[in-house]
Structure 1
Amino acid sequence: MTESMRRTRILVTGASGGLGGALARHYAAPGARLSLWGRDPARLAAIADDCRAAGAETQVRSLDLVDIDAALAALAAEDAADPFDLVLLASGRGDVRGPGLRVEEAAMVARLGTINFTAPAALAAAVAGYMAERGHGRIVLVGSAAAFHALPFAAAYSGTKAGLARFAQALRLSVRGHGVSVTLVSPGFIDTAAGRKVPGPKPMLMRPEAVAARIARAAERRQAHLVLPWPFAVLRWLDRLLPSPLRDRVLLGLTPPEG
């Protein structure tokens, strides 16, 4: 970590998850000031202890981003008390169509819409406004490589991540003249506890610590979009280049993960 980052005020959402926890630990260092949000109080406390042991000043907030009003109020209060320099929105949820179902359950689609798109987009918009007023700041939105593909067995997940990707692009353009950067991260498969619960093959599985380090470098460089590992960027372009009828046949031929 650079000396400037050691003095940075940082928010990590999804900090009780595998990637969010890895990001928190990556930034933990003497002088760092961390605010960690997560749904799992016990795991959040354990990660906070690790960060404090590394010398970081650390506070935690246990909440579920489904309650968007509460999350926005918490963000406003924390930013007013001690403004954020870097916000990493790493919360999210993955899911696939259940065995025997033709489509995903409506309740699950609604929940993923809130967790994967509405909540992080609203938080990013709010903090981008605060940062633009100050004339500086960095925002990271963690999406997914699944956003590049219309996955029939994970329509809600791929769809919500696609929406977040387009939002991140638009937000980046709207605030780049005000000293604020927005970085979209589109990772492939990450070896986390939540990820292991999702059935099916996971090619090119990445360690969360390695992903966190790559994200930190991208944020430091104010990179617009980070896709990792690199073969997923190639798959993104192949999806775009295929004629629609051929793309549809390929996607329909994908085998849903077995439950």
Structure 2
Amino acid sequence: MAKARHILTRLKGSSRRDKSIRNSARISDRTLARILITGASGGIGQALALRYAAPGRTLVLWGRNATKLRILAASCQERGAHVLTREVDLTDGQAALRALREDDDSTPLDTVILCAGLSDMKQGHEKTEQAETVLELGLVNYATPAALTMAAADRMAQRGGGSIALIGSVAAYHDLPFAAGYGGSKAGLARFASSARLALAPLGVRLTLIAPGFVDTAMSQRIIGPRPFLVTPDAAAARIISALKRDQPEIIFPWPFAVLRIIDQLTPRILRDAIMRRVSADQRPRGD
């Protein structure tokens, strides 16, 4: 009798494990089914959309350029994906939150990749960064993505989980005197990501911070001067997809920037400040 109970217990345990494996498989498959990508009208967001486009997937693509979104949507549909598009300006955080909740109502999101961002710095002829630009950077690069993260996580937690990726920058890890607004907005996003990851993990919501160096996009093409270790948007998209598959908490690429971060951490502040004061950069005015 005792032996029979033992066998029954083992069978129940096996059944629970099998059920857990099946649930995990469903969640794993589901994370590639319904994907929201912000900043999809160009750069990394566009490359991600094209890589993810496949039969059985729904892509919800946000951007500011309606024409580019329409062209991208057609390309993704040719690859078999179902595509929804929306024009969104992330400087209006309340409108962005309403848009996410509306899209999630119609297409429950499994993966949210918050790619949209702005890059700006003090131009050579300016004494200080423009106050309005610093405010815009804070909204687009930090405040709105952070709010969207929590709005998406709230919905995902009710469904048992999901994945969120935040696109930061290696600029978050260095004191850039010519780009305090940009570096500060990305540093705020990095700290938010590390804190939110801990808070959301018990809810089944996975969060990954992506910190790329120079990516060959319209944003970085404004920079006057060298762009070391430049990567293509498609190469960046491949790294991001790989990081999400492996559920990495943070990824810095290309690898030399990960080394530079360690060097920065080990360098005494007095020396680090002296070095950074000698660093300068410039950029062309922002286009449409």
Of 94-103 and 105-114, more deviation after overlay is shown by 94-103
**Distance in 1 separating the partners of 2:191 and 2:31:** 31
2:135 matched to which residue of 1? 110
After TM superposition, where is structure 1 displaced by more than 6 Å over at least 4 residues in a row? none
2:266 matched to which residue of 1? 241
1:23 matched to which residue of 2? 48
**Matching of residue 11 in structure 1 with residue 46 in structure 2:** no
1:169 matched to which residue of 2? 194
Cα–Cα, structure 1 residues 50 and 137, in superposed 2: closer, same or farther, change >3 Å? Answer: same
1:204 matched to which residue of 2? 229
Q: What TM-score results when the alignment is normalised by the length of structure 2?
A: 0.87
Partner deviation per Cα, 1:202-258 (whole Å, 9 max, x = no partner): 000001101101100111111100100011001011111110100000110102236
Q: What TM-score results when the alignment is normalised by the length of structure 1?
A: 0.96
Cα–Cα, structure 1 residues 222 and 258, in superposed 2: closer, same or farther, change >3 Å? Answer: closer
Gaps of 5+ in 1: none
Cα–Cα, structure 1 residues 6 and 50, in superposed 2: closer, same or farther, change >3 Å? Answer: farther
Residue of 60, 80, 88 corresponding to 1:63: 88
Gaps of 5+ in 2: 1-27
SS in 2 for 1:193: coil
Superposed displacement of residue 80, structure 1: 1.9
Superposed displacement of residue 19, structure 1: 0.7
Superposed displacement of residue 4, structure 1: 2.4
1:91 matched to which residue of 2? 116
SS in 2 for 1:26: helix
AA at the equivalent of 2:105: A
Residues 117, 160 of structure 1: 8 Å contact kept: yes
SS in 2 for 1:11: strand
SS in 2 for 1:10: strand
Identity of aligned residues (%): 47
- RMSD value over aligned CA atoms? 1.3
SS in 1 for 2:271: helix
**Distance in 2 separating the partners of 1:70 and 1:27:** 26
Residue of 148, 167, 180 corresponding to 1:142: 167
Superposed displacement of residue 6, structure 1: 8.5
**Matching of residue 217 in structure 1 with residue 242 in structure 2:** yes
SS in 2 for 1:190: coil
Residue of 101, 105, 125 corresponding to 2:150: 125
Cα–Cα, structure 1 residues 232 and 88, in superposed 2: closer, same or farther, change >3 Å? Answer: same
**Distance in 2 separating the partners of 1:258 and 1:170:** 33
AA at the equivalent of 1:56: A
Superposed displacement of residue 82, structure 1: 2.0
Superposed displacement of residue 130, structure 1: 1.2
AA at the equivalent of 2:249: A
**Distance in 1 separating the partners of 2:34 and 2:276:** 43
AA at the equivalent of 2:95: A
Partner deviation per Cα, 1:4-24 (whole Å, 9 max, x = no partner): 269510000000121110011
2:13 matched to which residue of 1? none
Partner deviation per Cα, 1:75-95 (whole Å, 9 max, x = no partner): 111112221000000000101
Cα–Cα, structure 1 residues 5 and 134, in superposed 2: closer, same or farther, change >3 Å? Answer: closer
AA at the equivalent of 1:226: I
1:189 matched to which residue of 2? 214
AA at the equivalent of 1:116: N
Residues 7, 31 of structure 1: 8 Å contact kept: no
Cα–Cα, structure 1 residues 252 and 79, in superposed 2: closer, same or farther, change >3 Å? Answer: same
AA at the equivalent of 2:122: R
Partner deviation per Cα, 1:169-190 (whole Å, 9 max, x = no partner): 1111001011110000000000
Residues 64, 88 of structure 2: 8 Å contact kept: yes
Of 65-74 and 159-168, more deviation after overlay is shown by 65-74
